[in-house]
Chains A and B, each alone.
Chain A
């Protein structure tokens, strides 16, 4: 079983969001970067699947040298090796194309992504990659088990779940439920991660279809209108007459 887990390198969930260059660039100063949470869950499940059978797990990221600590963390969690494609990940089509080039040579059985990265919340790379490789994909996977030559998956859909069965190879994007909690690297894992292979690969030519021009922050909220606890009736009146929300 060969598994590839695509990792994005994103600001920590609680990081302050601000921009430089007149709104064009995210301000990375003093920001802690992490493995995007859904990918961390998908990697955790990939590790469990590997431990129940056999195989290798490769983690891959499209990014500049600054993303290597994030890949090392994935290695510390238990991945066997890492690939960094040396480029600024400008848009999803570009990133998918880079990963597809690697995947075409390696014949992975399963390629995991997260349902979306928590920076651009796009959720495009996995499906684009699957289309480029002409293989099936299952989105928002909350459960996966292997059963001989097929995988049994559960994907989230509007108002419920769908159970899906799929032969290898395929792409699965993980979400809440795929693993209970992300695995925390142990000290031994952190030590071993330093010696695990991290290969840097050059980019292939690929066009970009979208470009982020600017960022803005939401309008600050007005002050919260406080109502006394024994005057709940007044709150309902405000919601009904002033906010017209009830």
Chain B
């Protein structure tokens, strides 16, 4: 047997999530006393692939064909199952991204595998495999047993630490068998939401709610994010995005994006349950709100009761002095 990890790329590059994922998969291979095989699909340079070696990837199967540069879930599922078959892999690991959500369930059907999406830690047992996942939008954890021989886990972002385990990388190219019928959903155009750091990738988020009054005045969050640095970006609540004060891609919450940053500044946010569902995996939450009874203070680690417009400039000043 082996453990197979699929490392997705973004325009030919990996990101921190890829390294968290390889660290996680290496640990799983150790738990099962077997070797780890890494799979890359699409156009990624050999140099970029070798960066995975720092976290324990040694054998990398590379399926580098232009037809896989955009996602077709049917074709990707075939490629991944073919590689799993060739490598006799019965534990597969993905990052819990849009791509994995499109592909992993299909692979599960092809391989008759038990799939646990959104795991947040290593399995607590291997025989049987028991693993924890978030459930009820972060309000609980479910311990799931995978009863089938073949198993698939998808790992949530920012839930597993990086573990350096330097190894030499050998790259093996693989030609997958797919047909035109696997590409019936045709990619017409890809639009980047913005050049800014995506909210799910940021280590620190500065987020604004309706308490920040207007599209003009809420721009103070841009100033504060810029003061913190390049690992930080801005976010907002649903009402703020619905009012068009901030772009839709910044909306964090149950119906928007679910984030797990190291630090989340909730500024002028009361803390509706739908918003908390999107941020409850944040490691530290800081709240600034005029209402001392706002539910956000129950979720927060640090809080200031006060007018955000008076507090934010002082925060920015103190950040700049760090």
Chain A residues with CB under 8 A of B307:
229
Scan residues 66-104 of chain B and give those whose CB is less than 8 A from a CB of chain A: 70-74, 77, 97-99, 101-104
Contact call B187/A17, Cβ cutoff below 8 A: no
Q: How far is the CB of B242 from chain A (nearest CB, A)?
A: 9
B112 at the A interface (CB under 8 A)? yes
Stretch binding the partner chain, chosen from B134-142, B158-166, B212-220: B134-142
Per DSSP, chain A at the interface is mixed
Say yes or no for A39: interface residue by CB 8 A criterion: no
Decide: A222 and B280 in contact? CB cutoff 8 A: no
Residue on A nearest B10 in the bound complex, by CB: A158
Judged by a CB distance under 8 angstroms, whether A217 is at the interface is: yes
Asked if B49 lies at the interface with its beta carbon under 8 angstroms from chain A, I say no
Near A by CB (< 8 A), chain B positions 236-273 give 248-249, 251, 254-256, 262-263, 273
- B302 contacts A235, C-beta separation under 8 Å: yes
Contact of B147 among A128, A161, A211 (CB under 8 A): A211
Does A225 sit at the interface, judged by CB under 8 A? yes
Is there an interface contact between B117 and A124, defined as CB atoms closer than 8 Å? yes
Query: B305 within 8 Å of A by Cβ?
Result: yes
Report the bound CA distance from A226 to B292 in whole Å. 10
Which residue of chain A has its CB nearest to the CB of B98?
A: A157
> Are B71 and A162 in contact, with the CB atoms below 8 A?
yes
A131-B256 contact in complex given A162-B71, A166-B184, A224-B302, C-beta closer than 8 Å: no
B73-A139 in contact (CB<8A): yes
Greatest chain A CB density within 10 A among B147, B192, B254, B318 is at B318
| Residues of B192-231 contacting chain A, CB below 8 A | 192-193, 198, 200, 204, 228
Q: How far is the CA of A232 from the CA of B315 in the complex (A)?
A: 5
CA distance A235 to B315 in the complex (A): 8
Say yes or no: is B30 at the interface (Cβ < 8 Å to chain A). Answer: no
Known: A167-B184, A212-B144, A221-B301. A239 touches B137 (CB 8 A): no
Q: How far is the CB of A108 from chain B (nearest CB, A)?
A: 16
Question: Whole-angstrom distance between the alpha carbons of A96 and B302 in the complex?
Answer: 44
Closest to A217 in B: B140
Q: Does chain A have a CB within 8 A of B113?
A: yes
Total residues of chain B contacting the partner, CB 8 A:
94
* A131 lies within 8 A of B135 (CB): no
Q: Which of these, B198, B273, B306, contacts A14 with CB under 8 Å?
A: B273
List the one stretch of B35-43, B170-178, B283-291 in contact with chain A.
B283-291
Contact with B along A131-173 (1 / 0, CB 8 A): 1100111111000000000001001111111111111001000
**How many residues of chain A are within 8 Å of chain B by beta carbon?**
82
Q: Is the CB of A209 within 8 A of B190?
A: no
Cβ–Cβ contact A17 & B136, under 8 A: yes
CB contacts (< 8 Å) of A115 on chain B: these are 101
CB distance from A237 to the nearest CB of B (A): 8
B130 at the interface (CB under 8 A from A): yes
Report whether A120 and B101 are in contact in the complex, using a CB–CB cutoff of 8 Å.
Answer: no
Contact of A224 among B106, B118, B187, B303 (CB under 8 A): B303
Does B304 sit within 8 A of A, measured CB to CB? Answer: yes
Q: A121-B118, A213-B145 are in contact. Are A158 and B198 (CB under 8 A)?
A: yes
Q: Does chain A have a CB within 8 A of B319?
A: yes
A123 touches B101 (CB 8 A): yes
Please report the C-alpha to C-alpha distance between residue A125 and residue B115 in the assembled complex, in whole angstroms. Answer: 11
B303 in contact with A246 (CB, 8 Å): no
Q: Which of A126, A159, A164, A232 has the most CB of B within 10 A?
A: A159
Cβ-neighbour of B301 out of A210, A218, A236, A243 (below 8 A) = A243
Asked if B190 contacts A92 (CB within 8 A), the reply is no
Instruction: Name the CB-closest residue of A to B73.
Output: A137
B300-322 at interface with A (beta carbon < 8 Å): 300-307, 310-311, 314-315, 317-319, 321-322
A47 to nearest B CB, angstroms?
19
Q: With A162-B190, A245-B204 in contact, is A209–B306 under 8 Å at CB?
A: no
Instruction: Check A213 against B130 for contact (C-beta < 8 Å).
Output: yes
Name the one of A130, A138, A246 contacting B319, with C-beta atoms under 8 angstroms: A246
How far does the alpha carbon of A232 sit from the alpha carbon of B267 in the complex, in Å?
Answer: 13
Q: Does A2 interact with chain B (Cβ within 8 Å)?
A: no
Q: List 17 A-B contacts (CB under 8 A).
A: A96-B105, A124-B105, A131-B110, A136-B73, A139-B101, A160-B192, A163-B190, A165-B188, A166-B184, A176-B248, A212-B144, A217-B140, A218-B140, A232-B315, A232-B318, A236-B322, A246-B322
Additional pairs, 17, CB under 8 Å, beyond known A93-B114, A235-B286: A17-B136, A127-B106, A136-B72, A137-B102, A139-B101, A152-B188, A157-B71, A163-B191, A165-B188, A209-B147, A212-B145, A213-B145, A215-B142, A230-B314, A233-B314, A238-B302, A245-B204
A interface residues, Cβ below 8 angstroms from B: 11, 13-14, 17, 19, 37-38, 91-93, 96, 115, 118-128, 130-132, 135-140, 152, 155-167, 170, 175-177, 207-218, 221-222, 224-230, 232-233, 235-240, 243, 245-246
Please give me the 10 A-B residue pairs with the lowest Cβ-Cβ distance, nearest first. A229-B306, A209-B114, A232-B314, A127-B105, A236-B318, A245-B263, A131-B109, A139-B102, A136-B185, A131-B106
